[in-house]
């Protein structure tokens, strides 16, 4: 158990008047206990009372996976009703927060047994903790970012694009992600030619041709923390238009990073990046927010989006990833992970941001 994190959670709970917080398998459980658990029909659930000691309801066959120390285990056998165990522990609670990743089958079961409870979402509590990374989290994110930089460095020499399918190239990117030190490769988007206009394109059988612009967005997990980086490649010499659009996106990426500092509202980072793209007359083709927080999850708070007036603060980590998507033709995105510090910003990715020529 991460004792200091649980105590901080309890302080927040007392502040906002939550009696018990419940977390099923997911990022909050990992953050608070170091236990990843398994997402399944067998209930694992952490209970944190505002005052007192936390407990964990866990299936017998997964109890050996729980890290030792500080957690009262309520181990249940195959014939026991685990929802009943949780409900019994919440008997005296009036206000209960429940983790965002809880399956509805468990929540609905709890709601029917705890008719008088007023429910709220767990992320209202945990986002306040998780949004500010501590030293060990920053170190893990920095290692993950550095591993991605090394992977990117290898791409032009080691990965052939021309004549191969997007899916094959995505497989290569996943392999580099793991070879450079990630525990797992979590995702790899390879969006070539017209497919590049779809920001979350799923790599398929399209064969990559000379002249294609190819958006590669990939990342992995290292010590429980995520990486997420995007570079845009061209197969052979780029067209003048590809060079021009890429230069605009690169400038937008730079403007976004420059705008980010402690005390700056999240939406200002989005505005800074967007303004560059709008000035180039491409505003209608930048169809998503500028960035997202990253940590145990690839996407988490804070979100760098118009309307988010939350202030950046030291310890926040997030992506800056402007893009331009031209339907039927091509897309360009450049994405980096950065960490907000007392004095400004640390770049967790520093790989070359140019338009990279591959063969
Ligand atoms: Zn994305
Ligand atoms: Zn990405
Ligand atoms: Zn991203």
User: Distance, CA 232 to ligand 1 centroid (Å)?
Assistant: 14
Relative to the alpha carbon of 297, which ligand is closest? Answer: 3
Is the pLDDT score of 24 beyond 90? yes
Distance of CA 225 from the midpoint of ligand 1 (Å): 17
C-alpha–C-alpha distance, residues 170 and 47, integer Å: 40
Angle between helices 123-130 and 3-16 (to 10 degrees): 130
Give the C-alpha separation, 267 to 254, whole Å. 16
Under the banding of pLDDT at 50, 70 and 90, the label for residue 215 is very high
CA 81 / ligand 2 centre spacing (Å): 41
- Going from the Cα of 291 to the center of ligand 2, the distance in angstroms, rounded, reads 9
Ligand 1: centre distance to CA 177 (Å): 17
Query: What is the value of pTM for the model shown?
Result: 0.95
Beta strands in the chain (DSSP E): 20-24, 45-49, 55-59, 72-76, 95-98, 118-121, 184-192, 213-222, 225-226, 229-235, 291-293, 300-304, 317-320, 323-326, 330-333, 336-341, 344-347, 356-358
Q: Would you state the pLDDT for residue 268?
A: 98
Ligand 3: centre distance to CA 321 (Å)? 7
Distance from Cα 74 to the centre of ligand 1, integer Å: 39
User: For residue 342, how far is its CA from the centre of ligand 1 (angstroms)?
Assistant: 27
Of all residues in the chain, the percent with pLDDT exceeding 70 is 100
Tell me: the pLDDT tens digits for 94-150?
Answer: 999 999 999 999 999 999 999 999 999 999 999 999 999 999 999 999 999 999 999
Q: Which ligand is located closest to the Cα atom of residue 318? A: 3
Ligand closest to the CA atom of residue 338: 3
pLDDT tens-digit map of 173-207: 999 999 999 999 999 999 999 999 999 999 999 99
Span from the CA of 39 to the centroid of ligand 1 (angstroms): 23
Q: Is 137 exposed, middle or buried (0-12, 13-18, 19+ CB in 10 A)?
A: buried
The ligand minimizing its distance to the Cα of 293 is: 3
CA 339 – ligand 3 centroid, Å = 14
Q: Supply the DSSP symbol for 202.
A: P
* Cα 244 to ligand 2 centre (Å): 22
Q: 275, 284, 274, 263: which is closest to 345 by C-alpha?
A: 263
Q: Find the 321 Cα to ligand 1 centroid distance in Å.
A: 8
* Coil, helix or strand at residue 318: strand
User: Residue 230 Cα, ligand 2 centroid: separation in angstroms?
Assistant: 6
Residue-wise pLDDT tens digits, 51-62: 999 999 999 999
Compute the average pLDDT of residues 194-223. Answer: 97
Gap from CA of 112 to ligand 2 centroid (Å): 40
CA of 152 to the centre of ligand 2 (A): 13
216 contacts 319 by C-beta, under 8 angstroms: no
Residue 229 CA to residue 185 CA, distance in Å, equals 12
Ligand nearest to the CA of 219: 2
- Please check whether residue 288 is in contact with residue 281, taking contact to mean a CB–CB distance below 8 angstroms: no
pLDDT above 90 as % of the chain: 98
Q: Which two tokens stand for residue 339?
A: 């960490």
Q: Residues 140-173, buried b or exposed e (16+ Cβ, 10 A)? A: bbbbbbbbbbebbeebeeebebeebbbebbbbbb
Task: Identify whether the C-beta of residue 98 lies closer than 8 Å to the C-beta of residue 109.
Answer: no
Q: What is the pLDDT of residue 286?
A: 98
Average pLDDT on 351-358 reads: 97
Instruction: Tell me how far the alpha carbon of residue 189 lies from the centroid of ligand 3, in angstroms.
Output: 11
Q: Which pLDDT value is given to residue 70? A: 82
Ligand 2 centre from 177 Cα, in Å?
Answer: 13
Residue 64 CA, ligand 3 centroid: distance in Å? 35
Alpha-carbon distance 177 to 143, whole Å? 12
Cite the beta strand spans of 107-176 per DSSP E. 118-121
pLDDT average, residue stretch 25-35: 96
What is the model's pLDDT at position 1?
Answer: 81
3-state secondary structure of 211: coil
Handedness of CA 97, 101, 102, 104 (dihedral sign): positive
Express each pLDDT in 291-345 by its tens digit: 999 999 999 999 999 999 999 999 999 999 999 999 999 999 999 999 999 988 9
d(CA 297, CA 108): 25
CA distance 5 to 32: 6
User: Which ligand is located closest to the Cα atom of residue 303?
Assistant: 3
CA of 244 relative to ligand 3 center, distance in Å:
23
pLDDT of res. 69 = 85
What average pLDDT does the structure give for the chain?
Answer: 97
For residues 52 and 14, what is the distance between their CA atoms, to the nearest angstrom?
Answer: 12
Are 246 and 232 in contact by the 8 Å Cβ rule? The answer is yes
Residue 356's pLDDT is what? 96
**Which residue(s) pair with 230 in the sheet?**
217, 335
Separation of 196 CA from ligand 2 center, angstroms?
13
pLDDT at 291: 98
Dihedral sign (CA 32, 34, 38, 43)? negative
For 24-55, b/e burial (b = at least 16 CB within 10 A) is: bbbbbbbbbbbbbbeeeebbbbbbbbbeeebb
């Amino acid at each position: 158990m991460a004792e200091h994190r649980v105590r901080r959670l309890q302080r927040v709970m007392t502040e906002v008047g939550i009696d018990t917080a419940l977390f099923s398998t997911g990022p909050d459980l990992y953050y608070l206990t170091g236990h990843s658990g398994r997402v399944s029909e067998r209930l694992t659930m952490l209970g944190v009372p505002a005052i007192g000691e936390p407990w964990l309801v866990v299936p017998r066959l997964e109890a050996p996976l729980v890290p030792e120390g500080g957690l009262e285990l309520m181990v249940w056998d195959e014939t026991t009703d685990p929802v009943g165990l949780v409900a019994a522990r919440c008997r005296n609670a009036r206000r209960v927060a429940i983790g965002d990743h809880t399956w509805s089958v468990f929540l609905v079961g709890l709601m029917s047994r705890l008719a008088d409870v007023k429910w709220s979402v767990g992320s209202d509590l945990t986002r306040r903790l998780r949004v500010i990374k501590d030293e060990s989290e920053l170190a893990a994110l920095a290692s993950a970012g550095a591993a991605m930089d090394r992977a990117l460095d290898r791409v032009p020499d080691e990965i052939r694009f021309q004549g191969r399918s997007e899916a094959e190239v995505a497989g290569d990117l996943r392999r580099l992600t793991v070879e450079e030190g990630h525990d797992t490769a979590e995702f790899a988007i390879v969006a070539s030619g017209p497919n590049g206009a779809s920001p979350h394109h799923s790599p398929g059988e399209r064969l990559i041709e000379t002249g294609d612009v190819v958006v590669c967005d990939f990342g992995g997990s290292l010590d429980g923390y995520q990486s997420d980086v995007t570079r845009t490649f061209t197969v052979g010499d780029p067209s003048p238009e590809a060079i021009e659009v890429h230069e605009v996106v690169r400038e937008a990426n730079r403007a976004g990073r420059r705008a980010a500092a402690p005390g700056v509202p999240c939406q200002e980072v989005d505005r800074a990046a967007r303004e560059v793209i709008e000035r180039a007359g491409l505003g209608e083709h930048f169809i998503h927010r500028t960035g997202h927080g990253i940590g145990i999850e690839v996407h988490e708070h804070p979100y760098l989006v118009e309307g988010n007036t939350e202030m950046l603060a030291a310890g926040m980590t997030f992506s800056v990833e402007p893009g331009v998507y031209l339907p039927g033709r091509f897309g360009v995105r450049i994405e980096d992970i950065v960490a907000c510090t007392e004095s400004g910003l640390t770049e967790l990715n520093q790989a070359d941001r140019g338009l990279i020529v591959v063969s």
